[in-house]
Amino acid sequence: MAIAIMTSGGDSAGMNPAIRYFVEHVISYRLAPYLIYDGLEGLIDNRIKRVNLSHVNGIIHLGGTIIGSSRSKRFFEYRYREEAYNNLKKLGIDKIIVLGGDGSFRAMDIFYNEFGVKFIGIPATIDNDIYGTEYCLGVDTALNIIRSSIDSIRDTASSFKRAFVIETMGRGSGYLALVSAITSGAEICVIPEMPYDLESKKKEIKRDVNSGKRYILAVVAEGTKKTQEIYNFLKDDIKMDTRVTILGHVQRGGNPTVFDRLMASNFIKHSIERILQKDCKGEVVVYKKSSIEFITIDDIASHQYKISDELIGLYKIDYCRDCEEINSISS
């Protein structure tokens, strides 16, 4: 029996540890591990290779994915999906582990319904925006890279009494920006999921600056397209020398953190155990309340990911500094 693994869509730290653990676990079951190179495009073009442990030694600490990734328009056409199936059939592969996002999982769900190739999807995206899971592979590394960047920016900001606007990735999700704002103590956080009021912030920030605060940090999610607006606000309304730092693709790279490596092993172990069961068809492994579960593609497709109110509440507590009642208690 043969099982393959591929990475699809955007890369994220933790994919390489997952590939390493995949080969180890599959061999421990005395099965044949295959790597599919370059995602769905590689599946169509038959870039599929049987491997052993020597092919994945020394990759556990590497960011990105050694087998490459892609986004494939061709896979939307039946004739190319049929080519992909024929490639797998010749090698005796009828099971695939897919590291990617919901788009990749939906593509594999179509593939299963047409050709019966079982799959387990492992959520791997730094956006952390897949419904049903509290954690996606790679987000912890991305957050630590952002944290390190903001800490460095704070050093130079305080030296020159400047404001900095830091733009994070995340497409339509503000998860990276929100968690980074909370853990860096940013004065401003702008994300799609949460309204913001610059007028109320204006009074608060001016008070802090007049009290001796030497820097201001604003974290903005790229999906809001508000980076320029926040820059103008800090420069023109707060009257601070202001700089913009767009972190960009640096957030995708870097050595996977301990947590991402550990979860890569956890996801892989449970995914292989599940895909070997007869009733498995096409599912996604998720992490909820510190435990592993499996949900269907229909569950993901019929729900929209939402940042928890509890997480938003951790940032909104900052607004209490404007409350007269709390200020009076403090005085």
Q: Which residues are catalytic?
A: 127
| Alpha carbon 58 to chain centroid, angstroms | 23
Q: How many CA atoms lie within 13 A of 284 on its CB side?
A: 31
DSSP structure string for 83-118? HHHHHHHHHTEEEEEEEE-HHHHHHHHHHHHHH--E
Buried b (16+ CB within 10 A) or exposed e, 48-61: beebeeebbeebbe
Give the whole-angstrom CA distance, residue 74 versus residue 80: 6
Task: Looking at the chain, list the stretches that DSSP marks H as alpha helix, in order from N- to C-terminal side.
Answer: 15-28, 39-44, 78-91, 102-115, 139-160, 175-184, 198-210, 227-232, 258-275, 297-301, 309-316, 324-330
Give the whole-angstrom CA distance, residue 168 versus residue 187: 15
Give the whole-angstrom CA distance, residue 267 versus residue 293: 10
Give, as one character, the DSSP assignment of residue 48.
E
What kind and span of H or E run contains 163?
A: strand 162-168
DSSP structure string for 271-324? HHHHHTSTT--EEEEEEETTEEEEEEHHHHHTS-----HHHHHHHHGGGGGG-H
Q: What is the dihedral of CA 72, 77, 83, 87, to 10 degrees?
A: 40
The answer to whether the CB of 72 falls within 8 A of the CB of 9 is no
Q: What is the dihedral of CA 267, 251, 140, 25, to 10 degrees?
A: 20
